[in-house]
Structure 1
C-alpha cells in the first residue's frame, strides 16, 4: 500500500472520528449549559440572580395617557355619545425594592415589594398639574353602592351630593390627583352612611391611591431550589397568605397563577402559556408565543396576551366566574373589577378597547385601537426565563349607568367610559445586555463553535480523503485496461503465422 493511500485512509478515519465527536458534544454541552443555569438561577443570598431580583437593574417607566372629555354637558343633559381626546404621555420613573424578605425551609421566600414613582417632566407631554375633564369617580361609586336601595335613601344621598357641591358627573382633575388621590368632601360626608352598608370609604380618592411609596401585599414565591425544582422558580405560592383571591365566583377564576411577570422558570418552550398574576387587575392572565425576535444581539421569544383571555363567558366558559354580580357578564374585552376596588365601578380593558366587542368601541368617540401600540408584550429569553423587554398595557374605565333618583345620571346612556391607559415598561439596558451575553451567550457560542467546528472539519477531511481514494481507484482501473489491450493484439497477430507453419509441415 502506497504512502498516499495510507494517508488518505488515516484522514478518512480521523474525519469520521471528529464528526462522531462533534455529534456527541451536542447533547453533552447542552446538558452542561442547562446544569449551569439550574445552578445559577435559584434565589440564594449573594448570588447575581438574587441581587437582580432584590433591586432590578433595568429602568422601569410608568407612562399614562388620559382621555379628556370634550362634551360633558351634552353627555349629561342630552344623553350624547361621549367624545374624548387622548393626552400624554405623562411619565414616571418607577423604582422597586423588596423588603421584609424571609426564606422558608420549604423552598419558598416571602417578601413585600415597595414601589415609588418619580415624575419625569422631560419624558412627559406636560407638567403633572395638567388638568382634564373626567368622570367623578367618588360620586358614581356612592351611586353604585345604593343602586338597589330604597328610593327615599337614593334621594337623600342625591340631596347630600348637591349640598356638598359634588353632584356633577364630570369634573376637572390633574394627573396627580386622579392617579395618587385627592381629598374629597363627598367621601367624608357619606362615610358613615357607607359604613352602614358594610363599605369602608377613604377620605381621599385616586386610581392608584396609597400606591406611591407602598407595597401591594405579601408575596410568597418558590425559590427554584432542589425542594421543588427549577420548574417552579418565581412561581407565586401565596399572596397575602392566601392560595386564592376570594374575589371571583369560581375556583378557576379565583386562582393565583404564575409569576409577577418579571421572570419565569428557565427553558421556556414555544408551546408554553406564561401565567402572570397582577394585583392591578385582581386576577391572573397568560401570554402565548407569537414569534422569535432579537434585541441587542439576544435571541428572544415574543409573547402576547391573546384575545381569549378577556372573552365573554358565552365564548369562553372559563371566564364565567368573572361575571360580577354572578350572571351579570360584560361583553368581550372588558372586566368589572369593582369587587377589589372598594365597590368603585372600575372596568379594565386593553388601551382603546383593543380586541373588545364592537359595541364597546362604538360607544365612545375618539377611540382608535391599534394592536402594535396597545398590546401587552413580553420578550423572554428562552434559556433563563428572564424578561428582557416588557410592556404591560392597561386601560382604566368607569361604568356609567343610570341610577334612580340621581339627577346627574338621569339622561346618560349606559357606557364604559375610558379614563386613562397606561404602559408599565422595562427594557434591558446596554450594560445588562452585555453582561448577559458575556456571562451566558459567549460560553454557548464557544461550545457551539467547538461542536460544529469538529463536525465541519471532520466532514471536510472525510470527503477529501474519500474523494482521493475514489479518484485513485478509478485511475488505476483505467491503467489496467490500457495494459490489457496490447497483449490481446499481440496474441491475435501470432495466430496466422502459427497456422501457416502448421500447414507447411
Structure 2
C-alpha cells in the first residue's frame, strides 16, 4: 500500500507541474505573443518591413459612396416660406487610394513623420448613381464667402454701419458672376463632387492684388484652383504632417504625437478637447480589449473620436471585435460634460445634440458634421428639414479589428456634412432664408478584406490560434486530470482505511462473557465447528 501511495503522489506531482506550466502559458501567452509581434508590427525605415509596406499603401480595396441631398422646393425654401424638402440621390461610388508619404524618422526611429495622401477615382460601372444626375443644392461657396465677409465686418469697429455698404458691393459681384441665388438648381452630381469653377474668386484675386503689396493676405478659401467640389478639395491633397510613434522599442504603434507640428490642436478652449488622443486610424494598436475605449484622431473631424466595443463577429473565418463610435460622441454638455468645449451654441444645447460644428478648423466655413440622416441627433435638429429617416442598421459606422494586432479587417465610416445656414441681411437672395441645419451629403468609406488578403492573414493568424488552442487544452485538460486523480486517490485511501484498520479499543479491552451474549454464541459455534473438524460426537 505504501508503494502504491508513493506512485500516486508521483503522478499527482507530475500533473501539478503540467497544470502550473499550462497556467503560466495560458495567462502570459498574450504578453509573450505581443512581445514577439512588436518586432514585426512596427514602422521601419529602409528596408521597409511588410507591415510598413502595407501601412504606406493599404492593400484593402476602399470605396467611397456619396449620397447627395437635393432640395425639391428651392424657391419656397429660399423665401423662408417652407422647410427644405430633401430627396436623397446616389450612391455615387468612388475608389479610394491612400498613400503615406514618409518624411523622416526621429528619436532613434521611435517617431515617424508623414503626410496622408488620398485620391478618388469614380467607379463608372459599379456606381448606381450617374454623374449627370441633376440636383438642386445650396450655393455653398457663395454662402460661405458671404459668411466670411460678415465675420470679417463683425470684427471691425462700427460694423453695423459697414454692412449695407459691404454687402451692396458683394451683391453686385454675385450678380455679375451669376451667383445671386441661394439655391443652385440643376447642378450635376459630377460638378458637386468633382468640382466646378467658382469664378468670383478669380475676380477677388485680381482685386486683392494691390492689398498684397502692403502685406495684406485674404483668408484661405480652401478651394484649390478656385474650384468647389466636396471631393475636389480632398482629392490629391497632402493631409498633415502627422507625427506618430513607430511601435519600435515598446512604443504604442501609430499613437499620435503631433499634427501639423503641434502637440495640441488650436481650435478649442480646453486642452482636453485639443488633445491628440489615440492613433491615426490605421490601427487600434496591439492587444485590443473589449472592455476598453479606443480613440482615433481624424483630421476631417479636427478632433479625436472615441470608439466602444459592440460585439464579436467573424469575418471570412477570422475572429474580430466590432467597435463603433460612441452614441454620445456628439452629445451636448448636459449629457456629456467633456463635450462642453465642442459646443459653440451654449444658448441652445439642443443644437449641439448630435451635431459637431467644425467651422473653427475650416477658417470659419459654416459646416457641421453629424451621423447620416441626423442619427442620434435631437429632434429639433432633425425637424429643421423634411424626409430624414435615420436607421442604425444603415447609418451607423463600425469597424471590425483583429484583437491581437488591432488591424482593421472590415468597416464602414459614415458621416454627414451639413451647412449651418442663417439669413444674411443686405445680401440679395440670401436674406429671407430661415435658420436651418441643412444636410448637403453623407459619405460612407468602406473596406473589407478580399480573399487574397484573407488567405494571407489565415496563414499568419491560424498558427497563433492553434498554439493558443493547444495551450488552452493543456491547461484545462491537465487541470481536469489532476482534479480527477486527486479525487480518485482520496477515495481509494478512504476505502482502504475503512476496510483494513481495526478499532484499537477492541484490541486493548477484549469483551468478557458477561458483556454480551454474542461472544458466547460465537464461542459455541466455534467449538462445534472444531469438534466437527476433529471427528468428535456430542
TM-score grouping bracket, smaller chain normalisation:
0.7 to 0.9
CA contact (8 A) 1:15 1:459 kept: no
Out of 80, 87, 90, the position equivalent to 1:88 is: 90
Q: Does 1:179 align with 2:212?
A: no
The more displaced of 110-119 and 337-346 is 337-346
Q: CA deviation at 1:15?
A: 3.7
What residue number does 2:356 align with? Answer: 335
What residue number does 2:491 align with? Answer: 470
Structure 2 length-normalised TM: 0.82
Q: Does 1:136 align with 2:139?
A: yes
The more displaced of 157-166 and 307-316 is 307-316
Q: CA deviation at 1:319?
A: 2.7
Distance 1:497 1:22 in 2: 64
Distance 1:53 1:351 in 2: 29
Q: CA deviation at 1:365?
A: 0.7
Change (3 A) 1:47 1:472: same
Out of 150, 162, 166, the position equivalent to 2:175 is: 162
Distance 1:497 1:16 in 2: 55
1:25-78 Cα distance to aligned partner (Å, 9 max, x none): 323534321221222222124322212212111111111111111111111235
SS at match of 2:429: helix
What residue number does 1:501 align with? Answer: none
Out of 417, 440, 446, the position equivalent to 2:461 is: 440
Distance 1:316 1:497 in 2: 98
Q: Does 1:211 align with 2:206?
A: no
SS at match of 2:352: coil
Distance 2:407 2:296 in 1: 14
Q: CA deviation at 1:173?
A: 2.3
Greater RCO, 1 or 2 (C-alpha within 8 Å, sep 6+):
1
CA contact (8 A) 2:307 2:325 kept: yes
**Runs of 5+ unmatched residues, structure 2:** 155-161, 503-517, 531-538
CA contact (8 A) 2:19 2:474 kept: no
SS at match of 2:238: coil
Change (3 A) 1:21 1:244: closer
1:138-160 Cα distance to aligned partner (Å, 9 max, x none): 22112212334521221221233
CA contact (8 A) 1:102 1:111 kept: yes
Out of 37, 60, 63, the position equivalent to 2:62 is: 60
CA contact (8 A) 1:62 1:91 kept: yes
CA contact (8 A) 1:154 1:406 kept: yes
Change (3 A) 1:466 1:248: closer
Change (3 A) 1:200 1:490: closer
Count of residues in Structure 1 that have an aligned counterpart in Structure 2: 492
Mapping of residues 12-411 of structure 1, within 5 Å: 12-45=12-45, 46-106=48-108, 107-147=110-150, 148=154, 149-171=162-184, 172-191=186-205, 198-201=218-221, 202=223, 203-226=226-249, 229-230=250-251, 232-324=252-344, 330-411=351-432
Distance 1:28 1:374 in 2: 40
1:356-413 Cα distance to aligned partner (Å, 9 max, x none): 1111101111111111221221222222121222221111111221111123233321
Distance 2:245 2:181 in 1: 49
Distance 1:497 1:256 in 2: 102
What residue number does 1:503 align with? Answer: none
The more displaced of 45-54 and 233-242 is 45-54
Distance 1:215 1:183 in 2: 22
Change (3 A) 1:492 1:91: farther
Q: CA deviation at 1:434?
A: 3.0
CA contact (8 A) 1:90 1:123 kept: no
What residue number does 2:158 align with? Answer: none
Distance 1:139 1:151 in 2: 18
Change (3 A) 1:326 1:154: farther
CA contact (8 A) 2:68 2:442 kept: yes
Distance 1:302 1:397 in 2: 28
CA contact (8 A) 1:16 1:459 kept: no
SS at match of 1:432: helix
Change (3 A) 1:451 1:185: closer
Change (3 A) 1:487 1:173: farther
1:81-129 Cα distance to aligned partner (Å, 9 max, x none): 1011111111111111222431223510111122111111233113223
Distance 1:328 1:190 in 2: 36
1:433-486 Cα distance to aligned partner (Å, 9 max, x none): 3322332342342243145236415634762685377369748966999xxxx9
Distance 1:487 1:37 in 2: 81
Distance 2:271 2:501 in 1: 87
Distance 2:378 2:528 in 1: 107
**Runs of 5+ unmatched residues, structure 1:** 499-505
Cα RMSD of the aligned pairs, angstroms, is 3.3
1:276-295 Cα distance to aligned partner (Å, 9 max, x none): 22121222221122233332
CA contact (8 A) 1:119 1:128 kept: no
Distance 1:6 1:200 in 2: 87
Change (3 A) 1:11 1:497: closer
Change (3 A) 1:404 1:309: same
